[in-house]
Structure 1
Amino acid sequence: MDRAEFVIVANRLPVDRDEDGGWRRSPGGLVTAMEPVMHESQGAWVGWPGQAGIEVEPFEFEGTMLVPITLSADEVELYYEGMSNDTFWPLYHDVIAAPRYRRVWWDAYVRVNRRFAEAAAEVAAEGATVWVQDYQLQLVPRMLRNARPDLTIGYFHHIPFPAYGLFSQLPWRRQVLEGLLGADVIGFQRVADAGNFARAVRRQLRYVTRASGIHVPNPDGTTRVALAKAFPISIDAQSYSDLAEKPEVRARAAEIRESLGNPRKILLGVDRLDYTKGIRHRLKAYGELLEDGRLTVEDVTLVQVASPSRERVQAYMQLRDEIEQDVGRINGDFDTMGHTAIRYLHQAYPRDEMVALFLAADVMLVTALRDGMNLVAKEYVATRNDNRGVLILSEFAGAADELGSAIRINPHDIDGVKEAIMTAVEMSPSEQGRRMRALRRRVREHTVTDWSRAFLATLAASKRWQGSGG
C-alpha cells in the first residue's frame, strides 16, 4: 500500500456498505466537508466501516485510499455508545443529560484510539500531514506524535468544549488534555470553546498559554507551541443553492405544501433526535401558541424531521418516547380533519428531499440547547435564492456567532421562543429580504472549502513554530 502525504483519521469511513456488499458515499456532514480536500490531495482516510466485526483490507474509493478499522460488538458498545456518547457527548454539551463515568468504557476508548493511531502511523508518508477529527479520537494526536514525531498533526473538535467547572468532573481529564496537545493545531467551532480548552490546560497542566499558543514541554526538555483556535465549519453553499433551482425539487416543495393543506405558513425543524437540539422546547412553544389561539392549524403547520440517532443509548430511547408523547398530545388537542398541527417524521431523508423541505418552509426553527455549529441553519439559508424565509436561531448554537441577522432566541425562555415564532410568522417580505440577504452573504463568503483551507494553512504555518518555543 502506498503511503499518503495527507491522512484523515475519523471515527467513520466516508462510505457505507450497501446490500450487495459494495460501498456508497455516506451522507454525513464531515464527509461533505472533507470531500474537496481529499480530491485535491489523493490522500488516505482511516475510519470504522460502521458495522461491528467487519474486517476489510484497505481499498481505493473514488481516488481516496480507505483504511478500515475493525471494532468488535463489545468495542462499539464500550468505546462508541459508552465513552463517546454516554460520557463525552453529554459532558461536552453542558450536562443537559447526566454523563456516566465507567472505567471499562475508558479502557476501551484508550484501546480503540491506539488502534486508530497505529493505522494512521502506518499509512502516513514521512513528514505527512494527519488531520484527526472529533471527540471519539481525542487521544490519537498524542499517540501519533509519540509514534511518528516527523508528522504534522491537526485535530478538529466538531462539538462544544465545556467550561472548566464541567470538564473538571471527567476522571481522565489530564489524559484527554495531553492527548489533544499532541496536535500542532487544535481547532474548535467557537472562540469560547478554544478559550475553555486553554483554561483547562492552564488549570490542570499548568502550561503557559499566550494568545492562541500553548507551550507544551517535549520529552527532551525543549518546548513546542500548539495552537488552539476557532475555525467555524460551514457548508458547500453553492451545491444547496443549485439544488434549490432544480425544477423537480421546486415541484416537490409545492407538493409538500399541498400535502399539508396549503397552510399560510410552514414552520420546520430538522434535527438528529438528540437531547441537545431543544426539540421539546420548540414543541412546547408551538403548542402554547395554539392553546393561546395566537396560531391555528389551518394557518400554520409545524413539520419536525427527527432523524434516528444512537438508538441503543438509554437517554435517546427515553427522549424519543417523550417527543412522540408531546406530538401526540398536541395533535390530539388541535388537529382537524383537514389540517394537522405537527407532521412528525422520525426518519432520515436524502439531500434533494431536504432541500425541497427547506423551500417549502417559511420559518426554520433551530432551538439547540448547545450545538457546536448547526449546519442545518446554514443549509436553509443557502437554499433561499428568493431571499424569503426566516431563520430562528438559538444563541447556544455555534452558527449564532456568524448568522447575526437571524432572530436569536434563548430556547429555555419559552415565552421568548413564542414571541420569536410570532415575529417570524408575521414578518413582512421586505424585512425577510433584508435579513436573508445578509445571512446568504455570510454563508456564501465562508464555505466548507474556506474552512478546511484555513485550518490546513494554519497547520502548515505551525511547522515554523515547532522547536522554537514560540
Structure 2
Amino acid sequence: MASRRTNSGEFDFIVVANRLPVDSVTGSDGSQQWRLSPGGLVTALEPVMRGAEGAWIGWPGAADVEIEPFEHDGIKMEPVTLSESDVECYYEGFSNDTLWPLYHDVIAQPSYHREWWDAYLAVNRRFADRAIAIAAEGATVWVHDYQLQLVPGMLRDARPDLTIGFFNHIPFPAYGLFAQLPWRKQIVRGLLGADVIGFQRSADASNFSRAVRRLYGFETKGTRIWVPQDPGNDSQAGSPPARKALKMRRVVARHFPISIDSASYAKLADDPDVKARAAEIRKELGNPRTIMLGVDRLDYTKGIRHRIKAYGELLREGRIEVESTTLVQVASPSRERVATYIALRDEIERTVGRINGDFGTIGHTAVVYMHHGYPREEMVALYLAADVMLVTALRDGMNLVAKEYVAVRSDNDGVLILSEFTGAADDLKQALLINPHDIDGLKDAMMQAIEMPAAERRRRMRALRRRVLENDVTKWSQSFLEELRHNSTASPLAEHKEERND
C-alpha cells in the first residue's frame, strides 16, 4: 500500500489502534527515547508500516501525558492523550471488563456500567477525530481491535471519501452472548462503517453477520452484507420492500487469520548467540530430559491454571518426575489494576508454590514461574530450549506464540500442544490439538509429547513450519488490503437490486 505525505500534512494510509507501536524508555543519558513494542499487533503491522511510510494513531501508554506527533524508525506517530479517568473507564472498564470477557465466551463475568460506555464513546470519538484530521482525500484507514469498534462508523459519517478497514484481533461472540450487551446495536453500527471487517476465524465472521441480521435485518449472503447508505436510520431495518429503493453499499465480513513475521523469527533462531543462550537455559534448569514451556500474558483466557493443574497431577501420579521434566511458565504482567487479574495472579502463584513445595528438590524446581516479560532474543532462546510448547488457551482469537514457536524450530524438533479453541488451531493441524477443559486429555497429550518418537516429531514440525513460513504476516496484510481495495465503497454503489445481480 503506497502512501505519501501531502503538502497539507495529510496521509494516504493510516493505522488506528489503541496503542502506539512504541514504548517510552529512559536512555543512558536520562533522555526519553522510544523503542518498538513487543506484542501481536505490533509484530503484525511493523513490516506494513515500514513499507507504507504511513501514520499510526494510538495512545502512548501513560495517562495525562501530552505528546506531539513524532517519527520513529520511519513511522509517523500521532499520539492520542487519555486521562486517568479514560484509562479507568474506557480501557480498564468497558474494553477489558465488559467487552473482553463477553467476547471470550464469558469465561469471566462482564460488567455493564453506563459511565464506562460513555467513556468508550468519547474516546472512540477522539481517535476518529484524529484520523479525520490527518487523512488525505480518498485515504485508506485501517482500524484495529475491540477497543475502537465505533471508529469506522464515525469515519464513515464524517468522511465518506475514505476507504475504511477494521480488523478484530479477538473472537467475536455468538449472538446469544453478544445480545447481552446493552449497546449491541451501536457496536454493530460502528463496525458496519467499514468496507471490510476482518476476523480471525470464519466462525467469528458468521457470528457477526448473524448479529447484523438479528439487530438490523440487513441482507447478508456469504461474506457480504448490504447496508443502507445511512445505516444510522434504524427504520430502514426490518422492511425489505422499503429497502429495495435505497442506495446500498456492500460490506465484506470474512476471516483473515493473522500471522507473524516468520522469516525474522527463523533468522533470529539461527543466531549463534541465541543458540548458545538456549543451551545455557537448559543447563540452568539442570539439563532435564524434557522442558515444557508456556508463554502468555497473565490472563484468565490463556488456560495457565489448567496446564499447571495438569502438570501437577502428572507429578502426583508419578507419570513424570521432577528430575527429568520441568515446566517453565512465562506470564507477562497484564491489566494489573483489574480485580480479576489480581485474583488470577494470586491463585497461580499459590498453585506454583504448592507444587514446588510438594515436588521440588534442592537441584530441581518443578515449575519455574516468571511474572515479567522478556526481549525477543530471550524468548526465541526459550523456544529453542523447550521440547514441548503448551498453548492451552480457553479462547483466543489466534495466539501468535504458537506460530512463533514453530517458526524458530529450524531443527524440525519440538512438539506443539495447541488448544482447539484458538484461531491457530485452524492452521496448525499437525499440533497435538486438545480441549484445555479436559484435564485428563491434556495430561495424555503432555505424555504423548514427552514420549513422541523423533521421526514423528520431525514429520509434524516440518508440516507446521511449512504452513507458518508460507502464510506469514505479509501475506495476511496483503490479503486484507487487497480485499479492501477491491471492496472500497467511498463512491456510492448502484441500487440494491443491481448489486445483487452482479
Secondary structure of the residue that 2:32 maps to in structure 1?
coil
Q: Deviations over 1:115-166 (max 9, x none)?
A: 0000001111000000000000000000001110000000000000000000
Secondary structure of the residue that 2:182 maps to in structure 1?
coil
**Aligned residue in 1 for 2:130:** 119
**Aligned residue in 1 for 2:269:** 244
1:22 Cα deviation (Å)? 2.4
For 1:350, the aligned partner's letter is: P
1:455 aligns with 2:480: yes
Matches within 5 A, 1:238-317: 238-317=263-342
1:346 aligns with 2:357: no
Is the 1:145–1:182 Cα contact (8 Å) retained in structure 2? yes
Q: Deviations over 1:251-301 (max 9, x none)?
A: 111111011111000000000000000000001110000000000001100
Q: Name which of 3, 19, 22 aligns with 2:10.
A: 3
Matches within 5 A, 1:131-142: 131-142=142-153
**Aligned residue in 2 for 1:233:** 258
CA distance in 2, matches of 1:58, 1:251: 41
Matches within 5 A, 1:102-251: 102-219=113-230, 221-251=246-276
Q: Deviations over 1:364-393 (max 9, x none)?
A: 000000000000000000010010000000
Is the 2:388–2:415 Cα contact (8 Å) retained in structure 1? yes
**Aligned residue in 2 for 1:12:** 19
**Aligned residue in 2 for 1:323:** 348
TM-score of the pair, normalised by structure 1: 0.99
Is the 1:234–1:375 Cα contact (8 Å) retained in structure 2? yes
CA distance in 1, matches of 2:367, 2:97: 30
- Higher mean displacement: 250-259 or 33-42: 33-42
**Aligned residue in 2 for 1:467:** 493
CA distance in 1, matches of 2:99, 2:255: 20
CA distance in 2, matches of 1:22, 1:386: 37
CA distance in 2, matches of 1:103, 1:454: 38
CA distance in 2, matches of 1:162, 1:31: 24
Is the 1:117–1:140 Cα contact (8 Å) retained in structure 2? yes
Is the 2:278–2:384 Cα contact (8 Å) retained in structure 1? yes
**Aligned residue in 1 for 2:112:** 101
CA distance in 1, matches of 2:302, 2:34: 31
**Aligned residue in 1 for 2:445:** 420
Matches within 5 A, 1:2-81: 2-19=9-26, 20-81=31-92
Secondary structure of the residue that 1:327 maps to in structure 2?
helix
Secondary structure of the residue that 1:22 maps to in structure 2?
strand
For 1:190, the aligned partner's letter is: R
1:408 aligns with 2:433: yes
Secondary structure of the residue that 1:77 maps to in structure 2?
helix
For 1:432, the aligned partner's letter is: R
Is the 1:225–1:466 Cα contact (8 Å) retained in structure 2? no
Is the 2:323–2:364 Cα contact (8 Å) retained in structure 1? yes
Q: Deviations over 1:379-421 (max 9, x none)?
A: 0000100100000000001000000000000000000000000
Is the 2:247–2:492 Cα contact (8 Å) retained in structure 1? no
Is the 2:274–2:380 Cα contact (8 Å) retained in structure 1? yes
CA distance in 1, matches of 2:75, 2:269: 29
Secondary structure of the residue that 1:331 maps to in structure 2?
helix
1:37 Cα deviation (Å)? 1.4
CA distance in 2, matches of 1:179, 1:162: 16
**Aligned residue in 1 for 2:357:** 332
Aligned in 2, Cα 1:466/1:191: closer, same or farther, shift over 3 Å? Answer: farther
Aligned in 2, Cα 1:126/1:407: closer, same or farther, shift over 3 Å? Answer: same
Is the 2:14–2:131 Cα contact (8 Å) retained in structure 1? yes
1:39 Cα deviation (Å)? 1.6
Is the 2:144–2:168 Cα contact (8 Å) retained in structure 1? yes
Gaps of 5+ in 1: none
1:356 Cα deviation (Å)? 0.4
Moved over 6 A (4+): none
1:367 aligns with 2:374: no
CA distance in 2, matches of 1:264, 1:38: 43
1:78 Cα deviation (Å)? 0.3
1:463 Cα deviation (Å)? 2.2
Secondary structure of the residue that 1:296 maps to in structure 2?
coil
1:316 Cα deviation (Å)? 0.2
TM-score of the pair, normalised by structure 2: 0.92
**Aligned residue in 2 for 1:392:** 417
CA distance in 2, matches of 1:466, 1:318: 51
Is the 1:186–1:226 Cα contact (8 Å) retained in structure 2? yes
1:21 Cα deviation (Å)? 2.0
Secondary structure of the residue that 1:306 maps to in structure 2?
strand
For 1:6, the aligned partner's letter is: F
CA distance in 1, matches of 2:157, 2:454: 58
Q: Deviations over 1:309-340 (max 9, x none)?
A: 00000000000000001101111100011111
Q: Deviations over 1:197-236 (max 9, x none)?
A: 0011111111100110001111393110100000000001
1:66 Cα deviation (Å)? 1.1
CA distance in 1, matches of 2:74, 2:386: 38
Secondary structure of the residue that 1:132 maps to in structure 2?
strand
